[in-house]
Amino acid sequence: MTALSIGSAQFAPGTSGRTSLGSLRYPSGFSLDIPCLVARGSGDGPVLVVSGATHGNEIAGTAAIIRLMQALDPKKLRGTVIAIPVVNIPAFNQGEYSTPQDGRNMASRIYWNADAKGTVTARLGAILGPVYRMADCYIDLHGNREPCAPMSMMFLSSARDQEVRKKTIAIADAFGVTAVDMSDPVAHPDWVGPADQYSVPVALENGIPALMVELVGAYTVLDAERGRKGVMNVMRNLGMIDGAQEKQDPAALPGRYRYWGSLSASAAGLLWPRVRPGTLLAKGDAVAEITDLYGDVLETVVSPAKGFMWSFNGALYGAGTHALPEGSDIGFFAEKVD
């Protein structure tokens, strides 16, 4: 192992520390640094890149990264962990999902073809891109609003080859929450954007095994420990650290799952979930009811197949309110395939 230069710092084998990957300048003249935490192992091994707050208001991953880096001993580490606790600094500072200055989504292919002279999001992509391209493995930590269940997303149809696909399944299983293959959904909603354009499937296209994880409580730090456990489980799978795999609670559901899509309701009213996210359902089971303001049931939404709901996101026009207008998506469903 030799010293590694990241951002404005150099990291010798067996050391850890912090650095800035670059900065963005604002109209008032001040600059925003992009923080990065690095653990450079004392032995040879893969480079694992971990990111949080790709969507600026989803800070669950940020907290998990902080706990992860506090737990690592670089002297007992093989390989290198490069952790970016906040990818979209401008959105994070304003509690926004996308970049406020240009409205663009950082969960995209921007790290591989960014214009360093473009808008704010493009410039961020140009700063971060070289780090992502260093990865032998990549984990992007996100979070869902409650009620939700933890899960991970595999974009297997984007994998460059069978070896990348196999390694992605292995790290998803190691993380320890229910893994869902996001390939070719039946009912993917337009407002989410093309799923195969996120940063994780683009990494897979480029031959990097990669995983996108949805922790619980997007806007809080309360699920940090689940994220830390999951990443360290992946590191054990990769041979980067020793020790037994840590159990997640809840454990992953048995079997394999694929992304079916988003369930929707025709009626307007109040959304009443009838199942806990993460509960295995049979086809036709009641998932939710829509009632009017008198409590009368207007519609019952049922499971389209055997599988589970991983979140009840509600109507996006009101930042996830469960007071629904007509034709609202109510939450995401994964179908059991074996």
- Percent of the chain exceeding pLDDT 70 equals 99
pTM above 0.85, yes or no: yes
Of 59-73, 177-191, 315-329, the least confident = 315-329
Task: For residues 267 and 292, give the distance between their C-alpha atoms in angstroms, rounded to a whole number.
Answer: 9
Percent helix, percent strand, percent coil in the chain, to nearest 5: 25, 35, 40
Average pLDDT for 10-24: 96
pLDDT tens-digit map of 231-254: 999 999 999 999 999 999 999 999
Q: pLDDT tier at 113 (50, 70, 90 boundaries)?
A: confident
Residue 173, pLDDT score: 98
Cite the DSSP H helix spans in 58-113: 60-71, 89-93, 110-113
More confident residue, 113 or 43: 43
Tokens representing 96 are 């926004």
Average pLDDT over every residue of 64-87: 98
**Mean pLDDT along residues 208-215:** 98
What is the per-residue pLDDT for 189? Answer: 81
Which among 140, 185, 213, 214 has a CA at the least distance from the CA of 333?
185
Distance, in Å, from the CA atom of 269 to the CA atom of 324, rounded to the nearest integer, reads: 5
Instruction: Summarize the confidence of residues 192-207 as an average pLDDT.
Output: 90
Hey, what domains does the chain have and what are their CATH numbers? 4-237 (3.40.630.10), 258-336 (2.40.50.100)
pLDDT in the model for residue 188: 84
Residue 314 confidence (pLDDT): 85
* 90 backbone dihedrals φ, ψ, rounded to 5°: -60, -45
Higher pLDDT, 191 or 30: 30
Distance, in Å, from the CA atom of 12 to the CA atom of 271, rounded to the nearest integer, reads 54
* Phi, psi at 282, each rounded to 5°: -90, 160
pLDDT tens per residue across span 168-178: 999 999 999 99
Q: Give 99-111 pLDDT, tens digit per residue.
A: 999 999 999 999 9
The whole-angstrom separation of Cα 89 and Cα 127 is: 12
CA–CA separation, 61 and 141 (whole Å)? 5
Alpha-carbon 287 to chain mean position: 25
